[in-house]
Amino acid sequence: MRSLVARSSYIFTSESVSEGHPDKVCDRISDTIVDLYLASDPVARVACETLTTTNRIVLAGEVRSANEVSGEAIEAAVRAAVKDIGYEQDGFHWETAKFSNYLHEQSADIAAGVDEGTGSYTEEGAGDQGIMFGFATDETPELMPAPILYSHQILKEMARLRKTGAVKQFEPDAKSQVSLRYENGRPVGVTSVVVSTQHTASTSLDEVRELVRPVVKSVLPEGWFPPEDEFYVNPTGKFVIGGPDGDAGLTGRKIIVDTYGGAAPHGGGAFSGKDPTKVDRSAAYAARYLAKNVVAAGLARKCTIQLAYAIGVAKPLAVYVDLHGTGNVDEEKLEKTLPQLMNLSPRGIRTHLQLNKPIYARSAAYGHFGRTPDADGGFSWEKTDLVDQLKGLA
């Protein structure tokens, strides 16, 4: 008979992709459009999807704004985003890629269900139905699962070296994967690391391996570098043709990379390209914010929070808290208390976290969670300003 007790010793793996991965290029472009509209009108509505392939960028979706944003401004912002990522290749170039814009006005039917006072409910409702999850764990200082955190940090450091010119052999497209051994539910070491990176044609595979090695060592804790035969760099061989030229990209295809690397549930909705009235994004941020504060307050070592919404309805249909047997407070008590500390209506979330700002393009790569809050409001959902209020629940 299978035991119902959770395993305490196991190997768990998470992956990340760089800002130059085709899907992440699309996420960055879509969030650039969100920022462009919010900078013009803080209550603009945006649902922007992006497709990229060989020397082509296509936008589609719905927008609504009190202020017009010109097609020229949209194209300029998109090209600037691709330039910042670093694409100046024959098969995908920020300046010469063909650009098509099929954004159009938001559906009046959707608007009626979401706008305050225009639908069946008198308070602004959620932009769609759905379930959203937030998660936090004390296994890292960032209160994130270690495998996804290290996977992100490897690629972020490689991008920094590439952009500063310190390592000219790296190109924008890359992936990482980190496998960690857990004992008694805590990470104790790395069993394997995989890094696949696009590189210049003149760079040998041995050179790529030795360029990646110090990056991985700088990210992992001392003594955690994997055995040499478990350190995989470009295991399929050369990787010169990459990015949208090598593989078509779409917005929203890396949702597990964006969140917790598979260590926690995901409701299914993507974040990028959506303004904060879309609870796919804002409620997932709120759930992470609450879960992180619960763990930061010492109420549990691990916390999962689920929120559920219906389109056009303001209040969440349900709030669920799971402390995974690590808590010192009743979960039902948290389910009642957390909505008192934070208004979990779409408007309440946006107000509490100050989400109606152009702060989203920076979140499109290297994870939406585990980041440092910015002075201008970016990553506000990573603050731990509810800790003092929560400590009294223990």
Report residue 108's pLDDT band, with 50, 70 and 90 as the boundaries: low
pLDDT value, residue 394: 72
> Same structural domain for residues 102 and 159?
no
Mean confidence (pLDDT) of the chain: 94
- Find, among 283, 279, 281, 261, the residue nearest to 271 by Cα: 281
> Same structural domain for residues 204 and 285?
no
- As annotated, the binding site for Mg(2+) includes 23
Residue 122 pLDDT > 50: no
> Same structural domain for residues 36 and 105?
yes
Residue 175 pLDDT > 50: yes
Q: At what angle do helices 279-296 and 331-341 cross, to 10 degrees?
A: 120
210 within a domain of the structure (yes/no): yes
> Same structural domain for residues 76 and 161?
no
DSSP character at residue 263: S
Report residue 107's pLDDT band, with 50, 70 and 90 as the boundaries: low
Catalytic residue positions?
A: 21, 23-24, 49, 62, 175, 239, 247-248, 253-254, 274, 278, 280
1 within a domain of the structure (yes/no): no
Q: Which H or E run contains 332?
A: helix 331-341
Residue 91 pLDDT > 50: yes
pLDDT value, residue 127: 72
Strand duo 302-309 + 130-137: pairing: antiparallel
2 within a domain of the structure (yes/no): no
- As annotated, the binding site for K(+) includes 49
> Same structural domain for residues 280 and 183?
no
> Same structural domain for residues 282 and 378?
yes
* Residue ranges making up the domain that contains 309: 130-139+276-391
> Same structural domain for residues 218 and 237?
yes
CA distance linking residue 252 with residue 268, whole number of Å:
10
CATH classification at residue 164: 3.30.300.10
222 CB burial (10 A radius; 0-12, 13-18, 19+): exposed
- As annotated, the binding site for L-methionine includes 62, 106, 247, 278
4 within a domain of the structure (yes/no): no
> Same structural domain for residues 214 and 350?
no
Number of domain units in the chain: 3
Instruction: Give the percent of the chain with pLDDT over 90.
Output: 89
- Find, among 20, 277, 320, the residue nearest to 173 by Cα: 20
125 within a domain of the structure (yes/no): no
124 within a domain of the structure (yes/no): no
pLDDT value, residue 117: 42
Mean pLDDT on 368-381: 97
Report residue 110's pLDDT band, with 50, 70 and 90 as the boundaries: low
pLDDT value, residue 121: 42
DSSP character at residue 277: T
pLDDT value, residue 106: 73
DSSP character at residue 126: B
Residue type, 134: G
pLDDT value, residue 177: 98
230 within a domain of the structure (yes/no): yes
Instruction: Give the percent of the chain with pLDDT over 70.
Output: 94
pLDDT value, residue 1: 40
Tell me: the pLDDT tens digits for 224-260?
999 999 999 999 999 999 999 999 999 999 999 999 9
Residue 161 pLDDT > 60: yes
pLDDT value, residue 79: 98
375 CB burial (10 A radius; 0-12, 13-18, 19+): exposed
